[in-house]
């Protein structure tokens, strides 16, 4: 199969681009399919990426793509919608009908977050409304923070954020509280109040959150609002391939980021937390190294 490439990468985020760059350095033929809708696109910056000071998500992708393309990787717009075959002989089909033959596959298509349907929230999402405490918690230290949540997951997020500020309020948005007595005690001891009123809207100006308005009580002044209502994979390729998942629905991988399906690797957010760009890139590199070694001829083995 002379037209078979060494690796097809599904996803053009930090994990996919880092993998492509390293495979290109090893003179491997690589094609990246990028749907062009990164999970962190609304964010004003990527925080904590070693060596870079708060680049925007698109700027980080631009730099990583420049490196990958500079060593021979090819990037195509669009999505892979089907993958068949076995290790060494995979056949992938893109949404435009293009067929790609590949010896190895890297799944790096990421997740899609569930965004609350609250008036005004999406206008502030990424600048003063966030879903990742690790990414944005340090940036709002010492400010007034709200956490949208009504169960143990919301309580955990509120408690986690209290590391950076002593002003955290949990907002249930009129959802029934699913908190056991011990959790309520823990929140109270951390001085985290719980407001159970229905949220009417979120108000801000110039990307800055000003206050949350309720339908039946006074507005609450806040500087930042966090939520994490869950997420889902951007496509079903792991299901098509029969990759094993863990109890939380993330793809299980070995030390080389290979999945339970031989020849198929996975990297980035779809392999589980923490969901950070730096970790996604590292997983992409690890996948690339494992793939390169797996493609070396038998004569290299001693």
Tens digit of pLDDT for each residue in 96-122?
999 999 999 999 999 999 999 999 999
Q: Write down the pLDDT at residue 1.
A: 41
CB burial class (10 A; 0-12, 13-18, 19+) of residue 242?
Answer: exposed
DSSP at 119: T
pTM, 2 dp: 0.94
Q: Which residues contact 32 (CB under 8 A, 6 or more apart)?
A: 9, 11, 12, 16, 17, 20, 68, 73, 74, 75, 76
CA distance 212 to 220: 5
DSSP at 10: E
Domains belonging to the chain, first-starting first, are 5-113+231-300 (3.50.50.60), 121-227 (3.50.50.60)
- Return the closest-CA partner of residue 32 out of 64, 77, 70: 77
How far, in Å, are 21, 67, 166 from residue 266 at the CA level?
Answer: 16, 21, 39
Per-residue pLDDT tens over the stretch 115-160: 999 999 999 999 999 999 999 999 999 999 999 999 999 999 999 9
**What is the sign, positive or negative, of the torsion defined by CA atoms of 244, 94, 46, 211?**
negative
Per-residue pLDDT tens over the stretch 232-254: 999 999 999 999 999 999 999 99
Average pLDDT over residues 162-175: 97
Per-residue pLDDT tens over the stretch 50-94: 999 999 999 999 999 999 999 999 999 999 999 999 999 999 999
């Amino acid at each position: 199969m002379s037209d078979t490439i060494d690796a097809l990468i599904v996803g053009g985020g930090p994990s996919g681009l880092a993998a492509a760059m390293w495979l290109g350095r090893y003179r491997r033929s690589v094609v990246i399919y990028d749907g062009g809708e990164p999970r962190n696109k609304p964010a004003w910056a990527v925080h904590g990426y070693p060596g870079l000071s708060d680049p925007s998500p698109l700027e980080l992708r631009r730099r990583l793509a420049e490196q990958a393309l500079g060593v021979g990787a090819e990037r195509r717009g669009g999505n892979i919608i089907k993958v068949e075959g076995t290790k060494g002989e995979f056949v992938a089909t893109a949404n435009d009908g293009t067929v790609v033959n590949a010896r190895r596959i890297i799944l790096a298509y990421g997740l899609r977050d569930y965004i609350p349907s609250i008036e005004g929230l999406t206008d502030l999402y990424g600048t003063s409304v966030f879903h990742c405490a690790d990414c944005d918690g340090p940036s709002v230290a010492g400010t007034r923070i709200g956490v949208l949540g009504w169960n143990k997951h919301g309580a955990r997020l509120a408690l986690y954020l209290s590391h950076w500020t002593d002003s955290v309020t949990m907002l249930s948005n009129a959802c029934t509280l699913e908190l056991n007595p011990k959790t309520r005690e823990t929140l109270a001891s951390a001085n985290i109040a719980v407001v159970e009123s229905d949220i009417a809207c979120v108000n801000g100006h110039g990307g800055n959150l000003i206050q949350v308005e309720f339908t039946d009580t006074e507005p609450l002044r806040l500087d930042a609002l966090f939520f994490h209502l869950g997420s889902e994979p951007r496509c079903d390729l792991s299901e098509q391939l029969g990759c094993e998942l863990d109890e939380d629905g993330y793809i299980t991988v070995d030390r080389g980021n290979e999945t339970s399906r031989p020849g198929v690797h996975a990297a980035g957010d779809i392999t589980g937390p923490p969901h950070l760009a730096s970790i996604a890139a590292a997983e992409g590199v690890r996948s690339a190294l494992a793939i390169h070694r797996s493609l070396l001829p038998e004569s290299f083995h001693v």
